[in-house]
Structures are given as C-alpha cells and as structure tokens.
Amino acid sequence: MYAFDFERPSTLDEAVAALGAEGAQALAGGQTLIPTLKQRLAMPETLVSLTGLAELKGISASGGVLTVGAASTHAEVARQTDHPGLAGLAGGIGDPHVRNRGTIGGSVANNDPSACYPAAVLGSGAMVVTNAREIAADDYFTGLFETALEEGEIITALRFPIPEKSAYVKFEQPASRFALVGVFVSKSEGGVRVAVTGASEEGVFRWSEAEAALASDFSPAALDGLSASAENLIGDIHGSPAYRAHLIGVLTKRAVAAAA
Amino acid sequence: MAQVSMTVNGTPVSGEVEGRTLLSTFLRDTLELTGTHVGCDTGQCGACTIHVNGASVKSCNMFALEADGAAVTTIEGMANADGSLGTIQQAFQDHHGLQCGFCTPGMVMTAAALLEENPKPTEAEIRSYLSGNLCRCTGYHNIVKAILAASGQEVAKEFAA
Ligand SMILES: Cc1cc2nc3c(=O)[nH]c(=O)nc-3n(C[C@H](O)[C@H](O)[C@H](O)COP(=O)(O)OP(=O)(O)OC[C@H]3O[C@@H](n4cnc5c(N)ncnc54)[C@H](O)[C@@H]3O)c2cc1C
Ligand code: FES
Ligand code: FES
C-alpha cells in the first residue's frame, strides 16, 4: 500500500471540503477499498474517513419509505424489520465480519457488477441521496463500477419505498460469495420491478420482459416459457453467458416464490 | 504519523501510526500481541478476527486510526483472569477443534461473537457464521462440535466426522 494522508472530519461540510482536494478519496467500511489499496489499484493522496459523520447514520421508516443512512453497516440493515427483502439481502453479504464494517453507501458508490445492493436499489426504485442532490435509481447506475456520482460527491442516504412484497435470491460464486447472479424482485403500487446483478457486462439491469409478465400475475408460473437473453452477459471460469442467462430465469422464479 | 489510543483487552494503549497502518499491524508489531494471526491479508480467511466495540471484524481490513477510542478484544483477552483457558478455548481443546492452530484465534473470536448474539445456535447457524473463517486442517467438524459444546449444548455422538 502506498502512503497517504488520513483525515477524519466530524461534519458533512468538512468532509465535502476535504474531498474537494486533488487526489482525495472517501473511506467508509474499507471492505472494498483496503484490499484495492493493498493491490495498489488505487493510490489516493488523502483518505477522508466518513465514519465520524452523524449525518450519514441511522435507519428510520416513515410514510412508507425506509431511509437508510449511507454509513449503515450491512449488519445494521440486516437487523431492521421494516423492509424484510432488504434485510435478507444485507444479511447474506459476505460474512459476519464483513457485515460489521461494510456499508450500504460504500457498496452503492462502488457499483461492483457482482455486488448485492445495486439489485435492491434498482429493484425497489430507490433514491440515492447525496450532499448535493437526489438521484433516481434508474439514472444512477451507468456501467461497470460507474455511477452518476460526480467527483467528491458523497452519498448520505438511500431512500427505499417499502414494497408490498420483495425478495432477493443470489447464486453465490463459491469462493467469493458475491453474486454469480442475483435477482431482486419487488411488487408495490407502482408496479413490479426485477433487477439482476452479477450477470451483465454493463452492470445491474432491469429485466423488463419479466416485469411485464409479473405485472398481471405475481407468481412463479407467470414466468414459464420466458428466458433471458445471453447477449452482453458475463462469461468467465464460473459460468458462460448462456449459463448466467439460465440462472436469471431460475432465480427470478425463486425470488418471486420467496416474496409471495 | 498520528497518535492513536484505544483500550485493548481492558488496558488503555496508545501509539504512533501512519494512515495506512492496519489494525492487525498495530496489534502485532506495536503492541506485540501476536496471538492475532495474519493469514491472507486480503480480508478472506478470518485468521485476524478480533472484536471492536463488541463487533467481530477482520483486523487486516481496518486501519488502526479507525479504532481510535474503541474497546478492542483480541485472543489474548479470552483466557480467564487466572490464566486458565476460557470456556470456548477449553472446548476447542476438548473437542480437538484445532490442528496446526493457525486459524484458531480467529475461530475463537468468531465463536465468541456468535454466542454473544445467539447463545444456543444450531449446527447450521454455526456453520453459516463461520463462512468468513477458513481452516486448512480440521475440515471444520470438530470446530463446530467445540462451539456447540461451548454453548452448553449436547454434542451428538453420531455427529458426522
Ligand atoms: C470477504 C468479502 C466478501 C464480500 N462479499 C460481498 C457480497 O457477497 N456481496 C456484496 O455486495 N459485497 C460483498 N463484499 C463487499 C462489501 O459489501 C463492501 O463492504 C462494499 O462493497 C463496500 O462498502 P464499504 O463501506 O466497505 O466501502 P469502502 O471500501 O470504504 O469504499 C468503497 C468505495 O466507495 C467509495 N465510498 C464509500 N462510501 C461512500 C459514500 N458515502 N459516498 C460516496 N462514495 C463512497 C469509496 O471512496 C470507495 O471508492 C465483500 C467484501 C469482502 C472483503
Ligand atoms: S488475514 Fe485478515 S482475513 Fe485473512
Ligand atoms: S487448524 Fe490449521 S488452519 Fe485451522
């Protein structure tokens, strides 16, 4: 790991100012960033720790919306009971130790194509709240490790409309336990959403054919005969594009069954 | 360099660290508490597991400065006051829950976190809680037995080994 300066601001304003400096990068739980630094894949001049910011903490539900502070750990999100689909997803990330440090803000900012949270954010139609604005999930995820965030912009919270029903099912990559493919489904007044992670060369995406089929009949049987396209899907030693396409169909059915 | 202070196994400590100093490095090199093992140094194996403010974390995947002001517990804090083995440690010895012993500090710290959260876990809950701790020797069965025993539960004879 290269050397860097370490800053520990105590307010959001101080953090925004510190991140405005050349070569500054935010540090949340470090569960992605520290391994990246060790591999020298990132070499910030300054790390700005977000752990001291009260503005990023706390989970609360009101008016059918669950607001999750960006610094909430996966373990904290797993313990909340207002949004069981989201709790189930958070409780399945990594292992207990990773869940005690890793944060929802860090995961959503990183947008790893195999990460779990992006599926919940897109699959619930959540809002990404930053120090500067609010970004709808449909506009937020722009590609592999790419998001609509500007340089130095800090995610402060995620706002999830609480669905009537939702569930996340992942097929684990056996070594890393990230999603080889993961599917988040939700049903709410606004309609049905199906978001797929782990599968596409372009990152998390909505499977619109499945959403249309489930809109009138939210049951696994509604998906009979429907198959996802293998075009642009990831092919690696763990699975071919065709295998991942097959998994998308199977996991979507399982997620609908789990949510129903 | 910056000053960092924390409580480790009940004793207040402080030292000079760099921004990039890992908590595992601070414990092992500065405090010379070498019971915390570093296996992979990539956040995968769990050998470096300790507790920070009561929560289990991989100390190779956290900076020392992030533990400023925290209460830290390491494997050195798990023995009884008279130096005899603590309940979980004794159960690992009784049930042969270790061979080379490299993973053991992390396994014991993970078991302690599990039993704090869930005092009577099932076998399946134990196995799932150990998902971030790798053991190259035992095949896990005796570790699971040891944790069941430490929780005061009967360890079935027919338990597959
Ligand atoms: C062994 C292991 C297993 C794992 N398994 C899974 C898994 O199954 N599924 C899964 O989804 N993930 C998994 N992860 C990744 C884990 O969920 C990480 O916690 C998460 O990806 C990053 O969150 P963090 O808080 O640790 O962020 P950090 O590592 O601190 O930061 C990640 C990136 O986000 C930026 N950032 C952090 N917070 C903010 C913010 N509030 N605003 C703007 N930018 C920010 C940082 O600058 C950095 O670029 C695993 C990790 C490990 C080590
Ligand atoms: S040494 Fe920390 S997880 Fe392996
Ligand atoms: S006893 Fe050797 S690695 Fe577990």
A145-189 residue pLDDT tens? 999 999 999 999 999 999 999 999 999 998 888 999 999 999 999
Residue B47's CATH number: 3.10.20.30
pLDDT in tens, B118-127: 999 999 999 9
> Is the model's pLDDT at B154 over the cut of 90?
no
Q: Looking at the structure, tell me whether residues B95 and B72 fall in a common domain.
A: no
Residue B91's CATH number: 1.10.150.120
Shortest CA distance to A192 belongs to which of A241, A111, A116, A252? Answer: A252
pLDDT in tens, A55-84: 999 999 999 999 999 999 999 999 999 999
In a domain, B160, yes or no: no
Q: Can you give the pLDDT at residue A177?
A: 85
Query: How far, CA to CA in Å, does A107 sit from each of A113, B46, B65?
Result: 11, 21, 22
> Is the model's pLDDT at B158 over the cut of 90?
no
Name residue B160's amino acid: A
Q: Can you give the pLDDT at residue A133?
A: 98
Q: Which residues pair with B3 in a beta bridge?
A: B16
Say yes or no: CB of residue A93 within 6 Å of ligand 1.
Answer: yes
Of B78, B107, B123, the domain-final residue: B78
pLDDT in tens, B29-64: 999 999 999 999 999 999 999 999 999 999 999 999
Q: Looking at the structure, tell me whether residues B9 and B70 fall in a common domain.
A: yes
Bridge-based pairing of strands A165-172 and A5-7 is unpaired
| Secondary structure letter of residue B28 according to DSSP | I
- Per the structure, the complete domain to which residue B35 belongs is given by 2-78
Nearest to B57 among A5, A51, A97 (CB): A97
Q: Cα–chain-centroid distance for residue A232?
A: 20
Q: Looking at the structure, tell me whether residues B97 and B54 fall in a common domain.
A: no
User: Could you tell me if B49 and B56 are in contact, meaning their C-beta atoms sit under 8 angstroms apart?
Assistant: yes
> How confident is residue B159, by pLDDT bands cut at 50, 70 and 90?
low
Q: Using CA atoms, how far apart are residues B42 and B61, in angstroms rounded to an integer? A: 7
Q: Using CA atoms, how far apart are residues A245 and A207, in angstroms rounded to an integer? A: 11
User: Mean pLDDT score of chain A, rounded to an integer?
Assistant: 96
User: Could you tell me if B38 and B45 are in contact, meaning their C-beta atoms sit under 8 angstroms apart?
Assistant: no
* SS3 labels along A69-93: ECCCEHHHHHHCCCCHHHHHHHHCC
- Structural domains in chain A, CATH included, are 5-49 (3.30.43.10), 56-161 (3.30.465.10), 168-259 (3.30.390.50)
Q: Token pair for residue B158?
A: 């027919």
> Is the model's pLDDT at B161 over the cut of 80?
no
In angstroms, the separation between the Cα of residue A11 and the nearest Cα of chain B is 16
> Is the model's pLDDT at A193 over the cut of 90?
yes
Q: Looking at the structure, tell me whether residues B6 and B72 fall in a common domain.
A: yes
Q: Looking at the structure, tell me whether residues B14 and B45 fall in a common domain.
A: yes
In angstroms, how far apart are the furthest CA atoms of chain A? 57
Nearest-10 Cα torsion for A22, A69, A55, A46: -20
pLDDT in tens, A86-142: 999 999 999 999 999 999 999 999 999 999 999 999 999 999 999 999 999 999 999
> How confident is residue B157, by pLDDT bands cut at 50, 70 and 90?
low
Shortest CA distance to B70 belongs to which of A100, A55, A19, A35? Answer: A100
Q: Cα–chain-centroid distance for residue A109?
A: 8
3-state SS assignment for residue A91: helix
Say yes or no: CB of residue A69 within 6 Å of ligand 1.
Answer: no
A34 to chain B, any CB pair closer than 8 A? The answer is: yes
Say yes or no: CB of residue A180 within 6 Å of ligand 1.
Answer: no
Q: Looking at the structure, tell me whether residues B115 and B138 fall in a common domain.
A: yes
Q: Can you give the pLDDT at residue A175?
A: 84
Q: What is the mean pLDDT of residues B17-33?
A: 98
Shortest CA distance to B60 belongs to which of B28, B89, B34, B22? Answer: B22
- Name the residue with the closest Cα to ligand 1, atom 21: A107
Of B44, B78, B112, the domain-final residue: B78
Show residues of chain A in contact with B133, CB under 8 Å. 95
Domain count, chain B: 2
pLDDT in tens, B82-94: 999 999 999 999 9
Say yes or no: CB of residue B98 within 6 Å of ligand 3.
Answer: yes
Q: Looking at the structure, tell me whether residues B59 and B120 fall in a common domain.
A: no
> Which strand ranges, in their side-by-side order, compose the sheet holding A205-206?
A165-172, A179-188, A191-197, A205-206
Q: Looking at the structure, tell me whether residues B9 and B69 fall in a common domain.
A: yes
Q: Looking at the structure, tell me whether residues B108 and B70 fall in a common domain.
A: no
Q: What is the mean pLDDT of residues B2-31?
A: 97
Answer whether A8 sits within 8 Å of B65, measured CB to CB.
yes
Q: Looking at the structure, tell me whether residues B68 and B131 fall in a common domain.
A: no
In angstroms, the separation between the Cα of residue B57 and the nearest Cα of chain A is 4
- Which position has the higher pLDDT, A67 or A260? A67
A98 to chain B, any CB pair closer than 8 A? The answer is: yes
Q: Looking at the structure, tell me whether residues B16 and B73 fall in a common domain.
A: yes
Q: Which residues pair with A73 in a beta bridge?
A: A103
Q: Using CA atoms, how far apart are residues A91 and B129, in angstroms rounded to an integer? A: 11
Q: Looking at the structure, tell me whether residues B36 and B18 fall in a common domain.
A: yes
- Give the residue from A51, A97, A172 with the most B CB atoms within 10 Å of its CB, the best one to mutate: A97
3-state SS assignment for residue A236: strand
pLDDT in tens, B109-118: 999 999 999 9
Answer whether A38 sits within 8 Å of B41, measured CB to CB.
yes
Interface predicted TM-score (ipTM) of this complex, two decimals = 0.95
Of B78, B99, B118, the domain-final residue: B78
Chains A and B form CB pairs within 8 A to the count of 72
Q: Using CA atoms, how far apart are residues A235 and A183, in angstroms rounded to an integer? A: 18
Q: Can you give the pLDDT at residue B160?
A: 53
User: Could you tell me if A24 and B50 are in contact, meaning their C-beta atoms sit under 8 angstroms apart?
Assistant: no
Q: Can you give the pLDDT at residue A3?
A: 95
